[in-house]
Structure 1
């Protein structure tokens, strides 16, 4: 097995095993060529001769490491799972966070059993004084800021420090919300979860540009798994009688798994076996991976001029606008209407109904984000139209109360999740498929703004809607 550098310089992956002696941390570039074999996972950068030997007769690079595709697939799946986990849990806990301020010495924000008397007896909706959209905004606005600024200079920060920040912020969010004594402190914890999720999404989608396109499917499936596992674990543990505080503390292993997946599971990207449809990318991909300096590296965001970035952005609008609409409708339903779709003729309390809504939605998202191999859609506008029709129907149902059963709402929510997840995974797959290699990292990094912008707009509009409807008798 050849040895090569454990990391990339100038914005590329920069991972260093924590088991190395501390003096190795000062080595960079060609100095690492002299590190002796024996440190697991440490590889030197191949020489020019070795690079030529790694190429097949027709110019296609060989993958000389068995198991690397599966390690990278599993790595990106786990990164998607861990990255979105805290974000999902905070949305699932939104009703609990806003229901009660924890009294001193109490171990939970809200009892896991039936809710006490309604918060607003004058309204048929049993409203909290503040909409769960407030939690949504705390969970998404920091992400929006990160994604807006990312194309301007985030690529200058190496990947490893970004991933460390993600892990620390995710762990901090669980601690802060678990031990909070007020709604304000809880919302600060939600903000930390947002920073972790937003920075992670930008980082890992940009990182996927250095790997085969298949990893985007695995990343998307992992993010869907985060939705399902996050919502289901919060629902299951609280239903089983565990307090929200202890439920949140039990999830601290997820940020640790994020760091392990990045630093230990992902392999160093090398020239890979290309399918016939990807042969035209071979030379540029090899140059991207094996370059030593930012001047010679093709495909990095730092190489693109402002004019090139603007041209790429304009080309992305046909994907960005539909995805914004999908997520606007989706999260307007989730954080604006879920709390108001309250059925009194069931054995489920209001808090339990809200948790079930979140879990079923995430189940639909998980299935659809994992469906790329069997269902590929190029026209995201169709999904945007269907999601907007969903919003119109459920908004009418809230205002006129014509739905006879909560189980019908359950079915609609699963369908909503299927539409949202399908739009997400197909959008990023289409961008990776149609964008030239030199623009791909920037395009994937920039397109991340779509879902966040739609979610932010939905939260801003859901707050006044909540106040208006809750004043109705």
Structure 2
């Protein structure tokens, strides 16, 4: 017969515990249950009041707990990739004789298609690759943006450009799409796993984390209003 024991919330549950623990009326809405069966221990996380709506304090506590592991990496990834797409790639151009194109305008259309291909591949392969540390693709995406900006700045100078071939640019853009799509899908997978036994909390978390990518896109769009003309003037 399985033996159940309840302990105080730890790890993410402690972060999710609402209100001030020093409050005399504080009651943590989260518990951990350890089920021991045949020498194996299975830990389950669930809400003690699954049928009740979350209080405002619980929502604020959960939003704060999602900030560092999920929302900030997602925000940075979207700032980097949309700044690259809207502010940098439009000015990363090659002479037509060094490209498979017949018109200059074909550059950006092809860039966009390759980026979306990368996003599609990474979002479709989430079951094959697990990413728990979302700061890694976030950091790599920032490096990708820096490399693309270096390409745009140096392409009009006498210095050697970082990427001499448009086909290598295609690879860089595919990589950008892979990083962005992977961060997005694994953010939601991670939240779903962390709050697997808390349907109310999971519903709220999946909704609130979307603020991060929306805000990142907006910041990138505003930044690109300055970056793209500045790069054009530099060239």
* Pair in the same fold by TM > 0.5: yes
Match of 1:363 in 2: 117
Match of 1:463 in 2: 225
1:334 maps onto 2:96 in alignment:
no
Distance 1:470 1:279, change over 3 A: closer
For residues 439 and 471 of structure 1, the distance between their equivalents in structure 2, rounded to whole angstroms, comes to 49
1:384 maps onto 2:146 in alignment:
no
Q: How does 1:69-148 map to 2 (within 5 A)?
A: none
Instruction: Pick the structure with more strand per residue.
Output: 2
Higher relative contact order by CA 8 Å / sep ≥ 6: 1 or 2? 2
Structure 1 residue ranges without an equivalent (≥5): 1-276, 289-296
For residues 138 and 100 of structure 2, the distance between their equivalents in structure 1, rounded to whole angstroms, comes to 34
1:324 maps onto 2:78 in alignment:
no
For residues 326 and 455 of structure 1, the distance between their equivalents in structure 2, rounded to whole angstroms, comes to 9
For residues 81 and 127 of structure 2, the distance between their equivalents in structure 1, rounded to whole angstroms, comes to 24
**Deviation string for 1:131-150 (max 9, x for gaps)?**
xxxxxxxxxxxxxxxxxxxx
**Deviation string for 1:215-257 (max 9, x for gaps)?**
xxxxxxxxxxxxxxxxxxxxxxxxxxxxxxxxxxxxxxxxxxx
For residues 425 and 350 of structure 1, the distance between their equivalents in structure 2, rounded to whole angstroms, comes to 34
Shift of 1:451: 1.1
Match of 1:428 in 2: 188
Distance 1:280 1:347, change over 3 A: closer
Structure 2 residue ranges without an equivalent (≥5): 1-41, 156-160
1:448 maps onto 2:202 in alignment:
no
Shift of 1:347: 4.3
Q: How does 1:210-359 map to 2 (within 5 A)?
A: 297-298=51-52, 303-318=53-68, 319-345=70-96, 346-348=99-101, 349-359=103-113
Q: CA RMSD in A?
A: 2.3
For residues 215 and 45 of structure 2, the distance between their equivalents in structure 1, rounded to whole angstroms, comes to 34
Shift of 1:351: 2.1
Q: Secondary structure at the match of 2:93?
A: coil
CA contact (8 A) 2:89 2:148 kept: no
Match of 1:141 in 2: none
Q: Secondary structure at the match of 1:404?
A: coil
For residues 67 and 56 of structure 2, the distance between their equivalents in structure 1, rounded to whole angstroms, comes to 17
Q: Secondary structure at the match of 2:130?
A: coil
For residues 278 and 429 of structure 1, the distance between their equivalents in structure 2, rounded to whole angstroms, comes to 18
TM-score (norm 2): 0.72
For residues 390 and 279 of structure 1, the distance between their equivalents in structure 2, rounded to whole angstroms, comes to 39
TM-score (norm 1): 0.37
Q: Secondary structure at the match of 1:373?
A: coil
Q: How many residues align?
A: 184
Shift of 1:373: 1.0
